[in-house]
Amino acid sequence: MSVAALTLSSCAGKETAADGAGKEPAIGSVEKMSSTEGLEFPVAAYEVTSDQQYQVKKAQNLLIEQCMKRFGFDYALPAPTPPSRNDSKSRVFGLASAKDAAQFGYASPSQATDPAPAKRQSPAALSRTGQTVLNGVDPVAEAAAKAKGKAAAPTDEPMSQAEAAKAPGSGIIVNGKEVPVGGCGRESALKLYSPKPGSVDILFVFNLGGEAESRALEDSRVRKATTKWSQCMADSGFTTSSPDSVQSDLGLKEGALSSPEAITIAKADVACKTQANYIGIRYAVQSAYEKRLVEEHAETLALFQQQTQDRLRLAAQLNG
């Protein structure tokens, strides 16, 4: 089992959509836009920032290390990757900056200016017993079970720390103590992300944004704008169906995103977005879907915010 934060589903994250959810929301008059910088989305008010994620990940590492120490293992995890300071929405709807298109093509400007990321340190090697404590399953037994298409670990693991405290244990004894179900990795995730039953899935807000985006892409107004953009690109000599697939449609390889060909295509892409007001229409439509979803799930979002604050307080206590 991974020691990363687990996706802990909960009934609190599942609500029935309102009756009008299938109708296209009104968007009023659409502002002409040629940039995505500074755009604010309704769901963003509920998102966890990269710095907050970093603080919680540091706390989770500490919880894992504390748990491992209970069983006699001095296990030190590498520090998590520091949060990115690039919170720009400059490419939330694909390439939008004419300046970037002319200078970098489809390559990220930050890749051209930022130093290469430092090589990540690997966790300390663990013995077979140590891996059992960390993951809640003997690695040799797990490999043998997988070879037979079976599961070596319990498939009905507790979904909250409160449930784990009352549920039957793993039955695995190490140094006279019972390993928690799912090991130290899962215990740390439950303590932070699901201390009590009814905790909202940590990906709930992210999934709302994804749902709004999917609905917006199927919306007749976005589809019409996409068709206009595609026709404009065709008039420039490029056959591509959507700004989201332009690189694959036109065969631009990862290592050639700033090539003369890529820059030519990128400049046409941005010009066609402006001509079709693709950014203005897509922003208006996606924001409308997000607003609808925020209203539909207001109760769960309020609970999510409260649980996020509780989690951050615990992380602050742990991190010191």
Encode pLDDT of 141-183 as tens digits. Answer: 888 888 888 877 766 788 999 999 998 888 999 999 999 999 9
Looking at per-residue pLDDT, the higher value among 128 and 152 belongs to 128
Strands 177-178 and 173-174 turn out to be: antiparallel
C-beta of residue 222 within 8 angstroms of C-beta of residue 216: yes
Which of 90-99, 114-123, 268-277 bottoms out in mean pLDDT, i.e. has the lowest? 114-123
Q: pLDDT-derived band of residue 257, with 50, 70 and 90 as boundaries?
A: very high
**Ranges 105-114, 139-148, 233-242, 305-314: which has the least confidence:** 105-114
Q: Is 177 helix (H, G, I), strand (E, B) or coil?
A: strand
pLDDT at 283 over 60: yes
Residue 119's pLDDT is what? 62
Of 55, 307, 278, 90, residue with least CA distance to 200: 307
Q: How confident is the model at residue 241 (pLDDT cuts 50, 70, 90)?
A: very high
Contact at 8 Å (CB) between 133 and 179?
Answer: yes
**pLDDT on residue 208:** 97
Helices 183-193 + 50-70 axis angle, to 10? 130
pLDDT band with cut points at 50, 70 and 90 for residue 87:
low
Helix (H) or strand (E) holding 178: strand 177-178
Q: Are 55 and 23 in contact (CB under 8 A)?
A: no
Specify whether the CB–CB gap between 255 and 246 falls below 8 A: no
Residue whose tokens read 């449930």: 163
Look at the block and give the residue holding tokens 């996409």: 226
**Mean pLDDT of the chain, nearest integer:** 88
Question: What is the arithmetic mean of pLDDT over 7-13?
Answer: 46
Residue 7 has pLDDT above 50, yes or no: no
Once rounded to an integer, what is the mean pLDDT over residues 256-263?
Answer: 94
Give yes or no for a contact between 267 and 236, defined as CB atoms under 8 angstroms apart. Answer: no
Percentage above 70 pLDDT, the chain? 86
pLDDT of 135 strictly over 70: yes
CB neighbours of 156 closer than 8 A, spacing ≥ 6? none
pLDDT at 156: 76
- Examine the pLDDT at 200 and tell me if it is beyond 80: yes
